[in-house]
Amino acid sequence: MNILVTGAGGYVGSNLIPELVKDGHFVKCLDRFFFGKDFLLSFQDTNQIELIQDDIRWFDPKILDDVDIVFDLAALSNDPVGELNPEKTFEINHLGRVRVATESKKHGVPRYILASSASVYGQQDNLANEDVEVFPITAYSKANHKAEIDVLKLSDEKFCVSVMRFASLYGFSPRMRFDISVNSMVLDLFKTGKIVVRGKNNKRPFLHVQDAVNAYKLILKADTASINGEIFNVGNEEQNYSIGQLAELIAQSVGIKYELELGDNNDHRSYAASFDKIRNTLGFKPEKNISFGANEIYEKLKAGQITDSTKTITLKWYQHIESDPELSKILKINGKLL
């Protein structure tokens, strides 16, 4: 298949692209590449990827002419970045992705998959399935929900649209991140012997990034009749944890005594999710768990294979780019960073 992946240089994309290439697909990789693209350069010798440094808001839609499926991962990727500039968050995460879907349909692409987030649930007292009312709280989650609504309107017999609401991700990636819960806690433990917990009783579902990749591979093979116009929570119930439980599990997993430090809690999101639908429809079952992910990251930190450079904190890296005239000049497209 010919596949377009937007956000190809991101946390998930940098794990997904190698898997798609290994499976024999040709992949067009669209990204601003703020965090680099070195990890992709080695795949150019395979003649199975094309790197397109552009923006979902204004890329030339002709690149869609021979595409069989779009995985739309491009977005400002978390709440702190979203709150930095809510207007840009809606422009990119909502309108930008609706543009990708709309142009895909115009250019005859048969299938489009939107990467969304379970954060749209906001606050839930019970296990949230795909049919419950959502309560998005932040600019990031509100933009995701608006994108969901508008891309699903485009689905018809000739244009299959699906939405994947991912649990909070963790685990190693070539585009490493330490601004997501599990990875951040492991880093705290490694550096200080403490784990900073904000919102001890707040609940979240979690999923290893490689299992997120496996979910994409499953939906790629799925019969369109079973996924068209559908939303899927992506994760499993066994990884619904409170933040306090998560900290304890991480410390137990790496076998280190730790000190719990309670931080300020401005995060009012608390939800656990049901994953019956993706399990029953696609047969999705995650292979990895928190213990695996915590040890994976801890061992790589210990071996010096990964570090907490500025690039691993999305908000800090964007701020660094903006403050560095030379870097900013290199990364601007159409005179814009964001």
pLDDT-derived band at 302 (thresholds 50, 70, 90) equals very high
The percentage of residues in the chain with a pLDDT greater than 70, rounded to a whole number, is 99
Q: State residue 42's pLDDT score.
A: 84
Q: Contact, 60 vs 35, CB < 8 A?
A: no
Q: Contact, 58 vs 334, CB < 8 A?
A: yes
pLDDT digits (tens, 9 = 90+) for 91-104: 999 999 999 999 99
Has residue 37 got a pLDDT over 90? Answer: yes
pLDDT-derived band at 79 (thresholds 50, 70, 90) equals confident
Burial class of residue 335 (count of CB atoms within 10 Å of its CB; 0-12, 13-18, 19+): exposed
**Residue 201: Cβ within 10 Å count:** 11
Residue 44 CA, distance from chain mean position = 24
Q: Which of 55-64, 218-227, 248-257, 294-303 has the lowest mean pLDDT?
A: 248-257
Q: State residue 209's pLDDT score.
A: 99
Handedness of CA 135, 139, 143, 146 (dihedral sign): positive
Q: What angle do CA 156, 159, 164 make, to 5 degrees?
A: 100
Burial class of residue 84 (count of CB atoms within 10 Å of its CB; 0-12, 13-18, 19+): middle
CA distance 318 to 331: 11
Handedness of CA 140, 146, 149, 151 (dihedral sign): negative
**Residue 217: Cβ within 10 Å count:** 14
Q: State residue 185's pLDDT score.
A: 96
CA distance 134 to 98: 20
pLDDT digits (tens, 9 = 90+) for 210-232: 999 999 999 999 999 999 999 99
Q: State residue 262's pLDDT score.
A: 77
For the chain, domains (ranges, CATH) are 2-331 (3.40.50.720)
CA distance 125 to 10: 32
Q: State residue 195's pLDDT score.
A: 92
pLDDT-derived band at 196 (thresholds 50, 70, 90) equals confident
Whole-prediction pTM = 0.96
